């Protein structure tokens, strides 16, 4: 059974700092991995999608990497801003059927 873990559960950093969020999964036979952002009480915004054949994806100040053999993904945020404050969720697609298995998220606070 696939399990997804995100550490730390919460993170507080000063504005401008570069930071890394971690995601680990127990079964390396994944189809893809998706990172989402969630603002309080809101829906999920897709940030990056990495297919199983890819090692990383980049969008603006965000870079996500995938290492299937070690069961890990990282989300790198460069030059953090207060507007980056949100909960970040990683989700694993274990097949091409669309079902996602989520971690519990990392709540990020970026202080001005």
Partner 1 sequence: DAGVTQSPTHLIKTRGQQVTLRCSPKSGHDTVSWYQQALGQGPQFIFQYYEEEERQRGNFPDRFSGHQFPNYSSELNVNALLLGDSALYLCASSLYGTDTYNEQFFGPGTRLTVL
For partner 1, the binding residues (CB under 8 A) are: 4, 31-32, 34, 36, 41-46, 49, 51, 89, 91, 93, 96-105
| Residue number, 71 or 103, with CB nearest to partner 1 | 103
d(CA 21, CA 82): 16
> Least separation, in Å, of the C-beta of 95 and partner 1?
8
> Least separation, in Å, of the C-beta of 20 and partner 1?
19
Q: Tokens 């399990």 — which residue?
A: 3
| Residue number, 9 or 79, with CB nearest to partner 1 | 9
Residues comprising the chain, all counted = 112
81: Cβ–Cβ under 8 A, 6 or more apart, which residues? 15, 110
> Least separation, in Å, of the C-beta of 80 and partner 1?
22
d(CA 18, CA 111): 13
Q: Which of 25, 9, 28 is nearest to 88 (CA)?
A: 9
> Least separation, in Å, of the C-beta of 79 and partner 1?
27
| Residue number, 17 or 24, with CB nearest to partner 1 | 24
| Residue number, 45 or 58, with CB nearest to partner 1 | 45
Angle at CA 39, nearest 5°, toward 82 and 18? 35
């Amino acid at each position: 059974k696939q399990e997804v873990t995100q550490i730390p559960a919460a993170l507080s950093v000063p504005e401008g700092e570069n930071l890394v969020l971690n995601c680990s999964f127990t079964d390396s036979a994944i189809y893809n991995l998706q990172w989402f952002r969630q603002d309080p009480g809101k829906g999920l915004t897709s940030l990056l999608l990495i297919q199983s054949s890819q090692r990383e994806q980049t969008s603006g100040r965000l870079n996500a990497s995938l290492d299937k053999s070690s069961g890990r993904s990282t989300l790198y945020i460069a030059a953090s801003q207060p507007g980056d404050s949100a909960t970040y969720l990683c989700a694993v697609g274990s097949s091409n059927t669309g079902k996602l298995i989520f971690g519990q998220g990392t709540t990020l606070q970026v202080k001005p």
